[in-house]
Structure 1
Amino acid sequence: MSFDATAKMQFLFALRSKGVTDKSVLNAMEKIDRGAFIQGLFADRAYEDMPLPIACGQTISQPSVVALMTQALRISPRDKVLEVGTGSGYQAAILSQLARRVYTVDRHARLVREAKAVFEALGLVNITAFTADGSHGWTEQAPFDRIIVTAAAEDPPGPLLAQLKIGGIMVVPVGQSDTVQSLIRVTRHETGFEYDELRPVRFVPLLEGLGRD
């Protein structure tokens, strides 16, 4: 199956039916072909609204969750965004259509290598991907206008909260890894942090340290 006109129409209809209404997010989801980020046995399921396994025991999130998390970030064109958990690179590619600059970090070197190759093939020049322990963020480029975490933490990680600009937004799944988690939007104000619970989700856990690849 290819991302032809019929597949795009069905894909976008599925997103709208799940509550994705932001036109800029829908445009980004239409422009970035999810099939470019899925190899092997599951390639023919790239346009279904479901998570799929990728290398290193990780997953590529279902498109509606990618879109809803992106929508929750309320990205502006001049924003600098940090993504924790590169995975396949699909979420970072969507972000690249909306933000000025995207920094994405993953603990698995193999995933970062493979994502970089797809970014290059798609001509996405405003993404910087690197291998590191994402739970500590990236102090060299902090603070960030937006931060998105694509793995579940028990609480919003302190180092990431500290790297969020005043007025900035972070979207992060929070909860125990073996139960349903809640997607939380954190907004940083001059006086502290505001937390909004958005919806139940399920993500792999946010782990410290580097992967074994």
Structure 2
Amino acid sequence: TISQPLVVAFMLELLDPRPGDKILDVGSGSGWTTTLLAEIVTSNKQQEKKGKIIAIDIIPELVEFGKKNTEKYNFVEKGIVEFICADGSKGYQKEAPYDKILASASARELPKPWKEQLKIGGRIVTPIGSSIWLFIKKTPSFAKATAGKESEFEEIEYPGFAFVPLISEQ
């Protein structure tokens, strides 16, 4: 399934992708959001740091479908997008760390590998249950100053959404 365009726009606004970002796109499906992200991370042609999207899905047919749709824009050919058929709940360590992580399927909780594979100051936008969550990884000094009070992430919940579940290998 593809999320409603308004929901995708809201999630992208929370994610705040920038030119040069490396982003993990979990549950990439048709490649529609992957293509939008690829356009954003390469929008500054003078940028020295080339952006990259790692699109991951556990369903082989969706990986091929997404790749086919994204290839129309030469993002795969240019090395801007890479499609991976794997369990997205485990992230993709080979390309870590990421500036941003976006998930398009609902997890029961924030997967530990995503936390570990995110850069300091990075953002994760993911559905958990019937809410969209924004997680921002704090700097070590800020996390230390608030030790015992908060986690290493700032967490903001936006309730009232429905998503397909994140499928994992278990």
> Gapped runs of 5+ residues in structure 2?
42-50, 144-151
Alignment partner, residue 22 of structure 2: 80
Alignment partner, residue 100 of structure 2: 146
**Per-residue deviation at 1:200?**
2.1
Q: Which structure is higher in helix share?
A: 1
Which consecutive segments of 4 or more residues in structure 1 shift more than 3 A?
none
Q: Quick one: higher RCO (CA 8 Å, sep 6+), 1 or 2?
A: 2
**Per-residue deviation at 1:95?**
0.6
Of 194, 200, 205, the residue aligned with 2:154 is 194
Q: CA–CA distance in 2 between the matches of 1:121 and 1:141? A: 24
Of 12, 17, 24, the residue aligned with 1:70 is 12
Q: In structure 2, do the counterparts of structure 1 residues 199 and 97 end up closer, same or farther at CA, with 3 Å as the change threshold?
A: farther
**Per-residue deviation at 1:170?**
0.3
Alignment partner, residue 205 of structure 1: 165
What amino acid maps onto 1:197 in structure 2?
A: E
Contact residue 29 and residue 65 of structure 2 kept, 8 A: no
User: Which runs of structure 2 are paired with 1:117-136 in the superposition (5 Å)?
Assistant: 117-124=68-75, 125=78, 126-136=80-90
> Gapped runs of 5+ residues in structure 1?
1-58, 176-180
TM-score by length of 2: 0.83
Indicate the RMSD between aligned Cα atoms, in angstroms.
1.3
Q: CA–CA distance in 2 between the matches of 1:109 and 1:102? A: 18
Q: CA–CA distance in 2 between the matches of 1:163 and 1:73? A: 16
Contact residue 133 and residue 155 of structure 2 kept, 8 A: yes
Percent identity at matched positions?
37
Equivalences, count: 147
User: Which runs of structure 2 are paired with 1:1-213 in the superposition (5 Å)?
Assistant: 59-99=1-41, 100-124=51-75, 125=78, 126-175=80-129, 181-189=130-138, 190=140, 191=143, 192-209=152-169
